[in-house]
Amino acid sequence: MNKYIAESFGTFWLVLGGCGSAVLAAGFPDVGIGLLGVSLAFGLTVLTMAYAIGHISGCHLNPAVTIGLWAGGRFETKHVVPYIIAQVIGGLIAGGVLALIATGQAGFDIAASGFASNGFAEHSPGQYSMTAALVTEVVMTMMFLIIIMGATDQRAPQGFAPIAIGLGLTLIHLISIPVTNTSVNPARSTAVAVYVGDWAVSQLWLFWVAPIAGAILGAVCYKLIAGKN
């Protein structure tokens, strides 16, 4: 149970820190943090939680990561579904807290703002197509799993995995925010989409299918690259 609670708290922090930076701070007049700041915020949430709860749950914070590690032989089958449930619950609670904070500003409209939701076509920040979004999410999550599995390999330098993983997620956001607002994490996508409803929920399928497919592909690729470990 401690593992599941840790995953909920960790995913809560990821959504509140990452999506919160996008909703509350990215466009703040004159001193907004912009896309670079949002990218760094997501990376920092993972880095800080990896040190805080990595020794308890492994700090997945992401259904795609959990499934990818399972596919890579790094995670037990019996924990997969409970981990995913815990991650989604933590994310949804963070989304609710963020909604409560954001609506404290006069005139703030969750649906109109997009609320850091992921999307494609007219809901992509750069108006990228569904195909572009699909490819982006698959490839970015694939690379994320390779980074995670490599950094946590027993043969890798010990103690530095959180830094590599956090910076890896930062880089992923720098690349892909214009395309999809960056998911690579179904729990993160769900956490805000349910509060927007409408288009965000109707497009949510892509941000479950693509990251999971990419994570499995990343696990397979790492096993081919690294050999037995």
Q: State the pLDDT at residue 227.
A: 81
Q: State the pLDDT at residue 158.
A: 87
Domain count, the chain: 1
Residue 30 has pLDDT above 90, yes or no: no
Cβ contact 55:32 at 8 Å: no
Q: Domain range spanning residue 90?
A: 3-226
Task: Give tens-digit pLDDT for 114-150.
Answer: 999 999 999 999 999 999 999 999 999 999 999 999 9
Taking alpha carbons only, the member of 101, 70, 94, 51 closest to residue 192 is 94
Residue 61 has pLDDT above 90, yes or no: yes
Task: Give tens-digit pLDDT for 204-215.
Answer: 999 999 999 999
Helix, strand, coil proportions of the chain in percent (round to 5)? 75, 0, 25
First to last CA, the chain: 28
> Measured in whole angstroms, how far is the alpha carbon of residue 31 from the centre of its chain?
25
Q: Is 153 left (phi over 0), alpha (psi -120 to 50) or beta?
A: beta
Q: State the pLDDT at residue 228.
A: 62
Task: Give tens-digit pLDDT for 165-201.
Answer: 999 999 999 999 999 999 999 999 999 999 999 999 9
Q: State the pLDDT at residue 28.
A: 86
Task: Give tens-digit pLDDT for 64-118.
Answer: 999 999 999 999 999 999 999 999 999 999 999 999 999 999 989 999 999 999 9
What global pTM score does this model have? 0.94
CATH code of 134's domain = 1.20.1080.10
Share of the chain above pLDDT 70, in %: 99
Q: What is the mean pLDDT of the chain?
A: 95
Give exposure, 146-162, as e/b (b: 16+ Cβ within 10 Å).
bbbbbbbeeeeeeeebb
